[in-house]
Structure 1
Amino acid sequence: MRCFLLLIAFGFAYALPGRASIPVHLPRGQPFQLIGLQTDYLSDPTYRLLLADVQRSAVAHRFLPTNQEIPNLPSSKPSHWFRFVFQPDKSQQHSQYLVEVGFGNIRRIDMYVVRAGRPVYHVQAGDAIGKAGRPLSFHTFVLPLPESSAQPQTVYLHIENKDVHSYFPLAVWERNSFLDHAQRASLLWGIYWGILLLMFLYHAIIWLFTHDRGYMYLALYLLAYLFYESARGSNIGARYLWPDSHWFIENNLAIFSVAVIAAFTLFYSHALNLRYSAVVFWQFLRWLSALSAVLMLVKLANWLPISSQSLAILSSYPLVFVMFLAGLRTWRHGQQAARFYVIASMCYALGFTIFVLNRTNVLPGTGFFLHYSQNIGSLLEFLFMAIGLASYVSSQQQQRLNEERRRIDVERLALVEQLRQREELDAALIDGQIQERRRVADELHDHLGSVLFSVRARLSELDSANISPQVLESLLNTVRDAYDDVRLISHNLWPDELEKLGFGYTLQQLIASLNRIGKTQFALQLSGLEDELERHAKFHLYCICLELVNNILKHAQASEASIRFLPDPAGAGLRLSVRDDGVGFQQADGSGRGLRTVRERIERLEGTVSFSKLPEGEGTWIQIRVPVHRPQTMPTLTITPIEG
């Protein structure tokens, strides 16, 4: 009966106003304990309640149990009082304990420890205090409890969280266990920040070298997200970058949210080419981005009764949804890189949704993936964005390469067509010259040759008594020489043997004729490559030989001359060497009219020529090099299909 009465008294005592119903107890071996279910709360819309006020029975009975493992209160405007009773374990009376408010964006926290109705301890924290606002350097707020004793103590937390949603993970830690936890958490945050910074530097450097706007927009998106992340999560901004700028600390989340939304719109609009491929989606994204910016500006002016985080959430979802639809449409229309952007948006949306559901207690829990869902989703988003951008840039480069190949092939075909037309024109000119030469040769042989033959016959019939024998002999020799010259010229204008019996045989006949009637003796050496030449090449080389022979006969006063065809040792070609022992010529560079004709013919054969005036008494040396084979086949137009 006594035990029963004691239990009733104990329960009644803790049910009285001013006392939390269940004390917080951290037994040996347990590193921490979430205390939401053991905590009562009181909202303070006036921001005027002090510790003495909440201890009075008139106010104390208004405390309500949170009924949540992690308190998530509906109101974002008022400040809140939290109350719990901490009962240290008797075996750990000299252990040190910490109270963690597991949210990093809080304006001000006052923690009071009351024993036997009297305040014995007070510590402050919060962004409004500046660098001293975090008694322990951590991304959340961690406040030390006074040294433990066996006596229970009531802990009051006054949290002023204007403009931030009311999410308060409350926990009691054993100090050494918390320090171990802080090291692991800092390592995870360091890895997270390191990955983001490396991705930013990687894309920024690629942009500096390539000037591709896709990399620039992704680098800007990563930079904006880095600043956004500094305003939440690890709270690097409030802790290290701008710890004394109270206004900026309260509004940096809204400012950086606008920057993230703007960079998000720029990147995806460019990556999906929405301005040209999906104008409606492009305009819709622009309007949503502009609306988000306007709402954030209105929020900065305190004209909207909503927290910056809630506004960021409301602004992000429509943008991500529209981008998701635009990505699906672009993917369907053939841009394979868009599939990575679709996956990226899904990762971000999923991570952000889990984050929101967890913070609103719809999906309660404190597990790793629940707690860091937004961070994990963001990393996956940036990873797939980078893969998609690389795929997009690769496909663009492949497309440009294919276009360049098409252009080169078209130019090559145009060049081949020009060469073909030029060859046809040269062939037509050569045919015309051949026909004209044949006509002139026929005229010389049939008419002028006949006349000279008749004159020679009549002179032979003259009476030598009336004419001096020497004069008659001279006239006969002159007419005979003229007749032989006409026959030789008519034969050399275009000998039929050139086409019937070949280039080498025709030259041999020409040299034999010259050696019979001239003072200069010619030596001919053939290589066998001459007959592999094309018809127009044989024509030009034959004309070149005639021109050079004519120059030797007229100007060189040479007793001997040589014409040698040799394989070109420098490559697949033919070398023509013409040398005499005469007096040389004045135009040592080959600038005479006849030699200019030689140069022009050699240029048509795509060959080279050099003129050498040898020392006096040794004559002239002309060297000509021409290719034996010229390309005849048309190039094949090959177009590589675009992949990706």
Structure 2
Amino acid sequence: MSFPKIGYQISLLLCLSVYLFSCAGRKSESPSFAVLEDANYTALEVWEKFKDQALERNGLFNAGITPHIWWMKLELKPTDKAEDRHYLKLHNPHINKLEVYLSGSEHPQWVMGDNLPFDQRPYWDRDLIIPLILKDGESISMLLRVDKAGETLMVEPQLMSESRFLEKNKLETLFMGLIIGWMGVIFIAACFYAWKLRERSAIIYALYIVSLTVWLGSHWGLGFQYLWPNSINWVDKSRPTFNLLTNALFLFLMLSFFPPLKKNSKLTYGIYVFIAIHVYLIIDLFIRPLANIPMESKMVFLRLIIVFSIFLTFLIILYLVRQIRAGVPYAGYYLAGIFVLIGFNVLIQLHQSGISLGMTSFVFDFGSSIGMLGETVFITVAFASRAANYKREKELLDLQLAQQEKGKAERLIQVQEEERNRIARDLHDSIGGMLSSIYLKASQIEENAAEPKLTRELKEMVSRSIEEARSISHNLTPLHLEEQGLGKTLKNQIDLIGKQHHLKINFTFDVGHRLEPATSLIVYRICGELLQNITKHARASEVMVSLNSDTSGLEIIVEDDGKGMNPDSSKNGIGLRNIRERVSYLKGNLHIDSNPSGTTVIITIPLPELPK
């Protein structure tokens, strides 16, 4: 499947950012060290054991899931002759307890770690930092007692001058800020999708982003530094809690965005079982103090979690592959995001296994974060694509509904016109014929009547009735509108009204656009209704009717010198109501300006771009 351009652009930007951050600055010195399992040794005993031992290790020390406390001896020499102040960084912010001994000392210089308040650290940073003064030509021997018993232990000592340390910290802070900012943008987008699409999966995605962001902050050590610096018991619980919550929300998100293809599917049941296990573990973490869990149980649990994660990843991939094979849209986006996350996790595992990949520690410190970032890019693109598709479908549906409504309105107008034509024919053929017969009879009576004055009055009344019937008939149905066109038909109607009501009507018609028959008929009705209102209510002596068209549409102006009216109080009148409805149907605008000296009505109607 083809991904939108935005997916490629964001992915390229992500890779470029990772490369620039990971390659920025010169590499710092990784000091040599030796390690020793603790067997209740004192610091003096450890100094003695390391006395003649060569420091052959360098780089990453990975003890895996270990039941032991470990001792490390390091020989530290300045990395920059121009600077005395240096910093030792361990690249592991989650050591339970770290004791630092200098130059053969029996008592620790500093004690720090997750099991101690944050403000006990000699340097306030998300990672464990040891500040040192190293002058040119000098060296310092250091012992570290690293307590991570029952958990995974990995440290990668790195000695940096102050300028290099501040530069590296600045870059890492900037990168973390970019990731958190990106998560904030995605959260807002997810809330927008939830609001616009009324979709449950968008709400779950917003919650997933919140949980993921908090987990990243906890994983980086920012949670302990800024959110819970004195909550020692919560420090150890925060990472597994939000990790489990993030996984559970992702599974809910996947099932919501891609509903199961079959009911009672074993694969779907398996995913729900994993969700239930996640929820159970979260509740257990809240209820049970970690101090009450035996170390052996912790180690077994961590090993099971590895197998658990591999099997869960397999289930997710299998579920998404089935969705793709079934032709479900956007499943490929989720699968691509999962593979990005897996790719970075593989890099981390290779690095932790001791395989040199020629990359700096930055990629491995933030590998999980980068993988999560890549995953959210593809998931967000999936939501954006679905939103765009929904928008297109909605626009198409709105267009179809508008066409249906227009068709109904046109059929209604056609029925009305047919009824008007029938009534007009009845008036002309029946009432008109009867009145003409009465007029002839009155003429015959007048010739033989003793009182011709009465018969003349009767003839005049019948004559006016004939004219009124003819006028009503013409108003009901415009004769020869399609053959003669709107301009000539209106001119005939206006001449008839002017003659009948003794009105001076100035008429101008400058419409260069070819109007559709339905539009011409409605415009004719609007003008007729306006003139009828003038003859009935305005008491005017002169009227101006003007129809003009330009590129913006059709403009109708009807102005009289009558007594005026209050447009607001007349909104419910049948005449104005009919005019407003017809103008609204044509998507036009109606403006009425009235005062005691007369009334001006201006109507503008948009017209399609037709050749003149």
User: Which TM-score band (shorter chain)?
Assistant: 0.5 to 0.7
Q: Tell me what 2:293 maps to.
A: 302
Whether contact under 8 Å (1:441, 1:493) holds in the other structure is no
Specify the SS of the correspondent of 1:124. strand
Partner of 1:274: 259
Matches within 5 A, 1:600-639: none
Contact 1:444 1:487 in 2 (8 A): no
Tell me, yes or no, if the aligned pair for 2:100 and 2:143 is still in contact at 8 Å.
yes
Shift in Å, 1:253: 1.6
Structure-2 change in CA distance of 1:157 and 1:247 (3 Å): same
2:66 pairs with 76, 93, 99, which one?
76
Choose from 39, 42, 48 the match for 1:50.
42
Q: Which of 340, 346, 371 is matched with 1:377 structurally?
A: 371
Q: How does 1:197-346 map to 2 (within 5 A)?
A: 197-205=180-188, 212=195, 216-233=203-220, 235-270=221-256, 272-274=257-259, 284-295=270-281, 302=293, 304-306=297-299, 314=307, 316-324=309-317, 338-346=331-339
Letter in 1 for 2:93: G
User: Equivalent of 2:545, from 554, 562, 567?
Assistant: 567
Which structure has more relative contact order (CA 8 Å, sep 6+)? It is 2
Of 355, 360, 377, the match for 2:353 = 360
**1:50-199 equivalences in 2 (<5 Å):** 50-51=42-43, 69-83=59-73, 86=75, 100-112=89-101, 119=106, 123-131=110-118, 133-143=120-130, 156-171=143-158, 173=159, 177-199=160-182
- State the TM-score, normalized to the length of structure 2: 0.64
Distance, in Å, in 2 between the alignment partners of 1:105 and 1:120 is 23
Letter in 2 for 1:302: I
**In 1: Cα distance, 2:89 partner to 2:598 partner:** 101
User: Are 1:475 and 2:451 counterparts?
Assistant: yes
Deviation at 1:341, TM superposition (A): 3.4
Deviation at 1:267, TM superposition (A): 4.2
Read off the aligned partner of 2:111 and give its amino acid letter. Q
SS in 2 for 1:106: coil
Q: Which residue identity is paired with 1:127?
A: D
User: Matched residues in 2 for 1:363 and 1:487: separation?
Assistant: 112
Shift of 1:334: 6.8
Q: Verify the 8 A CA contact 1:108 1:160 in the aligned structure 2.
A: yes
Instruction: State the Cα distance separating 1:165 from its structure 2 match.
Output: 0.5
1:125-153 CA distance string (max 9 Å, x none)? 33223235533344443446797999998
- SS in structure 2 of the partner of residue 109 of structure 1: strand
**Which one of 393, 398, 402 corresponds to residue 408 of structure 1?**
402
Shift of 1:536: 13
Alignment CA distance shift 1:529-1:315 (3 Å)? same
| 321-330 or 419-428, which deviates more | 321-330
- In 2, the alpha carbon distance for the partners of 1:101 and 1:488 equals 110
Give the deviation of 1:293 after TM superposition.
3.5
| 2:101–2:107 CA contact under 8 A, matched in 1 | yes
Deviation at 1:217, TM superposition (A): 4.1
Residues 425 and 68 of structure 1: CA distance in aligned 2, closer, same or farther (over 3 Å): same
What residue number does 1:396 align with?
390
Residue identity opposite 2:42 in structure 1: L
What letter is aligned with 2:94?
N
**More moved, 304-313 vs 352-361:** 304-313
- Structure 1: segments with no counterpart, 5+ residues: 1-28, 460-473, 515-521, 550-560, 580-587, 590-598, 615-620, 635-644
CA contact (8 A) 2:103 2:142 kept: yes
CA drift of 1:396 comes to 2.7
- Mapped contact 1:358–1:365 kept (Cα < 8 A): no
State the Cα RMSD in Å: 5.8
Question: 2:37 is aligned with what amino acid?
Answer: L
* Aligned residue identity for 2:430: E
**1:430·1:536 contact (CA, 8 Å) conserved in 2?**
no
**Residue deviations 1:292-316 (CA, integer Å, cap 9, x gap):** 3334555756374438876665555
The alpha carbon displacement at 1:423 in A equals 2.0
Q: Which amino acid aligns with 1:259?
A: L
Question: Which residue of 1 is the match for residue 22 of structure 2?
Answer: none
Report if the CA contact (8 A) 1:224-1:256 is conserved.
Answer: yes
Residue 372 of structure 1: how far off its partner (Å): 3.2
Give the counterpart letter for 1:104 in structure 2.
P
Mapping for residues 469-508 of structure 1, pairs under 5 Å: 474-475=450-451, 478=454, 482=458, 493-494=469-470
Q: Could you tell me how far apart the structure 1 residues matched to 2:138 and 2:178 are?
A: 48
CA contact (8 A) 1:452 1:482 kept: no
Distance 2:186 2:27 in 1: 45
Q: Which secondary structure does the structure 1 equivalent of 2:117 belong to?
A: helix
Q: How many residues align?
A: 520
Identity of aligned residues (%): 12
Contact 1:73 1:166 in 2 (8 A): yes
Q: CA deviation at 1:195?
A: 1.6
Cα deviation, residue 161, structure 1: 0.5
Give, as a single letter, the amino acid of the residue that structure 1 aligns with 2:112. A
1:349 aligned to which of 316, 339, 342: 342
Secondary structure at the counterpart of residue 129 of structure 1: coil
Distance 1:397 1:504, change over 3 A: closer
Tell me, yes or no, if the aligned pair for 2:86 and 2:161 is still in contact at 8 Å.
no
**Kindly tell me: are residues 410 and 279 of structure 1, through their superposed partners in 2, closer, same or farther at Cα, counting changes over 3 Å?**
farther
Distance 1:536 1:240 in 2: 71
3-state SS, counterpart of residue 232 of structure 1: helix
Aligned partners of 1:477 and 1:196: how far apart in 2? 103
Task: Name the SS of the counterpart of 1:390 in structure 2.
Answer: helix
What SS class does the counterpart of residue 306 from structure 1 fall into?
helix
Decide whether aligned partners of structure 1 residues 365 and 285 sit closer, same or farther in structure 2, where only a CA change above 3 A counts.
Answer: farther
Question: 1:273/1:82 Cα in 2 relative to 1: closer, same or farther (>3 Å)?
Answer: same
Structure 1 contact 43–79 (Cα < 8 Å) conserved: yes
2:493 and 2:369 map into 1 onto residues whose CA distance is: 91
Per the alignment, do residues 319 and 485 of structure 1 end up closer, same or farther by CA in structure 2, a change over 3 Å counting? Answer: same
Pairing partner for 1:33 from 25, 30, 33: 30
SS state at 2:354 partner: coil
Whole-Å Cα distance in 1 between the matches of residues 544 and 180 of structure 2?
Answer: 70
Cα gap change, 1:386 to 1:88, in 2 (>3 Å): closer
| Structure whose alpha-carbon radius of gyration is higher | 1
Distance 1:123 1:630 in 2: 83
Relative to structure 1, the CA distance from residue 32 to residue 434 in structure 2 (aligned partners, 3 Å threshold; closer, same or farther) is same
Counterpart contact for 1:121–1:146, Cα < 8 Å: no
CA contact (8 A) 1:444 1:490 kept: no
Q: CA deviation at 1:524?
A: 7.0
- Given that 1:434 and 1:494 are in contact with CA atoms closer than 8 Å, whether structure 2 keeps it comes out as yes
Measured in 1, the distance between the counterparts of 2:180 and 2:417 equals 64
The match for 1:584 is: none
Matched residue SS, 1:33? coil
Distance 1:503 1:139 in 2: 84
The letter of the residue matching 1:41 is L
Distance 1:600 1:296 in 2: 69
Structure 2: segments with no counterpart, 5+ residues: 1-25, 481-487, 512-519, 549-554, 566-572, 584-589
CA deviation string 1:462-515 (max 9, x = no partner):
xxxxxxxxxxxx4355556656766776687559x9879999899999999x9x
